[in-house]
Every structure is written in structure tokens, then in C-alpha cells.
Amino acid sequence: MSIEFGKPLSVRETPIPGLILLDLPVHGDARGWFKENWQREKMTSAVVGLPDFGPVQNNISFNDAVGTTRGIHAEPWDKFVSVATGRIFGAWVDLREGPTFGAVYTAELDPSTAIFVPRGVGNSYQTLEPDTAYTYLVNDHWSPTATYTFLNLADETAAIDWPIPLDQVEISAKDRDHPRLADVTPMPPKKTLILGANGQVGRALRHVFGDQPSMEYATRADLDLTSPELHSARRWRDYDTIINAAAYTDVDGAETPAGRVDAWATNVTAVAALAQVSVANGITLVHISSDYVFDGSKDSEYTSSDAVSPLGVYGQTKAAGDAVVSVVPRHYILRTSWVVGDGKNFVRTMAALAERGVDPEVVDDQTGRLTLASDIALTIRRLLHSRAPFGIYNVTSIGDPATWYDVAREVFRLTGHDPDRVKPVSTHGYYAASSGPALIRPRNSVLATSELDATWQQRLADYLAQQRS
């Protein structure tokens, strides 16, 4: 066999999305040859662009005779395939749900080539030389509860042009009995799990993502994140994304002995458990954070790179949760402020008071911008679908910052009531009357953002219009 030595590491695209053929540098002389079969830093670089798929197992298939034929098998994991010795004719068929279902790609592989086979793409090969060793890295272990998909090697629709006719080669009885393409159950996409499904952001996420089979919604009653059995509560390798919209948000309650325990359990301990699951299974973790990670002393907008400096227990737990999530290789942290959605919130409260004839006192020394839960959900979808760089994003409306007093006046005006009915009060004065903890709230909650392009006044008007419809 003649191996082409000295090729640069490069990739060749294929008609099947995610199926990538690689040319590997092989160095040889009279003694034999050497190659780097998998080199993580090089192969996941921007030049090559393979996903950092985290292999957990290395398998070798040795084949004695020319014509040995295996496949077509599609498993719920990714594979990095190469030939250690010999030569093969490989055939790959897309068996995933979607528009490329049934697409076929074929190529010859020798030790100077390799191929990355994404989850759900059927893999098969036929040996062209004796004593061929076919090696592959996979990023999951075989499981009896996993979903596997197969296609018959002789399927007429795929119409693979095997170099050696199938009636002249060695094939297992099991491979001969695989179904034709018309009878194949496609490999479903990986799932997305949304936690906190009954909250304002959770409900908005359900509206944006819908109830398709790949979406799963859970409340605390459905999944206990503090359970020591969390790692086995799901087959986590079947999940691509976890969106954590669950949180303890009672700012005042977090200052009580019981509330402090609950806040840390929900906002830190549970988040740490999610982070462990995400790291172990290559899951993207999306986490909703808060302006309360800052103390509000800055005299300008807070950026996503500003150092955290929380005041009260709630802010401390959110900052700790952010730190935990930041160690997950694939993470999005969305910091937001003054969230308004489907549920109890400040805007609904003010609208109800206006309707009932109540003239409220509202604090006029805390500054920020409203954020609609629907905008958070839409931003999450955009980040995921565009595969935006992982990291921290500020998500809130734009426009001139306002106080809660300004927002309340705007609610009264938009609902047809006299905004002068709203009376200003300082944070200290408001909490002096109720004996509440005034000093745990940041005075400046203004976040710098480029994610949204609507002002808080526009989005407030849209929100109130939706409430009336």
C-alpha cells in the first residue's frame, strides 16, 4: 500500500452536515510511518474546526480479509474514524431527522485520512486490503437504553456503489437484516431541557420554543436538582442544552434564616449540580443571572466584564451561581434586570393599583431598564441557533435609564390613568415604613447591552397591549 506522506492537516466538506473528511500528516521513512491520529488542540482550532467532542472510548475493528463489510450503523454519539493499517471504502448515510435524511457520502480511507461522523449519521465500510484495522474514538459508552438506528447495506434509495458486490463479501446476518430507508426510524435530535418552566422566563421560553418532541420542560417537582441521583435522573447524553430559568428570587426573603438556606440551595448548590452534569456530558448550559450581582455604585452602565460586588444574600447567591456556570466549557450567562412576563410582576401590580384607584408610593432612587421575559427567551434562541461565542451577555431593553417611579408613571399613563397619582419615595423611606432591608438593592441596575434594540418604553407599551388583548 502506498501512503501519501507529508500532507498538511486539512479538511474536506461533504454533502452531509457535520460529516468532515480530514487529510492527516503522515511522516514516514524506511522504518515505517507515524501520525498524530487525534490532536485536540490542532483539530479543534479555527483552521480545522472539529467540535471538541470529548471522546471517552477508543475502539478498533480488525478485519482479516478483503471485502469484509460492516454497517450501516448510526448511534447517538459522535465518532472520529481513521484507518490504522490497510485501506477501506467508507459509506456514510444521514439518518437524522431533517432535510438531509438519506444523503450519502462515500470515500476511500487509508492511514493518511480520517473522518468525523456526527451523531445520527450511519457509518459503514468495506475493506479493500487484508489485515485492515479500523479505529474510532467515540464520546459515549454503549447503553441498552440509548436510541440506535440502522440501514440496510443494499438499500436501493441510498444506492451505494460498493467496490465489491455485497453478494461476494462477508456480512453478518444482523447487518443483512437491517431495514430499507423507507422503514428507518430517523435519529431524533438531542433534547433541550428548560428548568423553571412555570416562571416568567420559563413560560416565555415555552412560547418561543414550543412543545416539539425535542423540548422538555421541568419544574422543581419534576426534577430535584439537589438530589445525589441527579447524574442518573436522565440519560444526559441525549441532551444538547439545559436552560436554567429556575431561581430563588425573593430578595427580602433571602435575608431571613430560612430564606438564606433556600437561596443558596437553589441559586448555588443546584446550579453546581447542573454544571457537573453539563461538563460530564458536553451539554451547553444557559443560565439566567441578575443585575443584583453588582452593588449599584458605578456611575455608568455595567458591562458584562465588570467585576461582581453583590450587596445582599440574593445577589451573593446569583454571583456565586455565575462563577460556577463560567467553568462549564459551553455556557451562556444572561444578566438581566427588572424582568416582566407572564406572572406576578411590578408592571401588573401598578396596572392593578391604577384600576382600583390606589395611589402608590414608588421608589425614585433605583435606576435601571425593564426587560420583557419574551425578549430574554428570543435572545436565548438566537444565541443557540447562531452558535454565538460562549460567555456572559447583558440582556435588557435600551433607552434612557429610568427609576421604578418613572416606570410606574408610564404604566399609569399607558393604561389611561393620571400618572401624577404615583408618588415618589426614597428607598430608605419606603423600607422605613415597612421595616424592610433597604440596603440590599443596587441603586444603579443599568446594564450595557447590544442584544436588544427596543426601548423599555416601547416594550412596556407592547406588554400592556398584550395584557389587554
Task: Return the biggest CA–CA distance within the chain.
Answer: 94
Q: Is 194 helix (H, G, I), strand (E, B) or coil?
A: strand
Q: How far apart are CA 280 and CA 287, in angstroms?
A: 17
Residue matched to cell numbers 447562531: 386
Percent of the chain as helix, strand, coil, to the nearest 5: 30, 25, 45
**CA 132, 135, 136 angle in degrees (round to 5)?**
155
Q: Which three cell numbers stand for residue 107?
A: 470515500
Catalytic residue from among 105, 125, 134, 136: 136
Cα 285 to its chain centre, rounded Å, is 5
Look at the block and give the residue holding cell 438519506. Answer: 102
Angle between helices 313-325 and 257-264 (to 10 degrees): 10
- 136 belongs to the catalytic site: yes
d(CA 339, CA 58): 48
Bridge partner list, 194: 217, 243
In the block, which residue shows the cell 487484508?
Answer: 130
Task: Spell out the residues 6+ positions from residue 144 whose beta carbon is closer than 8 angstroms to its own.
Answer: none
Nearest in space to 422 (alpha carbons), one of 402, 440, 397: 402
Instruction: Tell me the residue length of the chain.
Output: 469
Q: Annotated active-site positions, please?
A: 73, 136
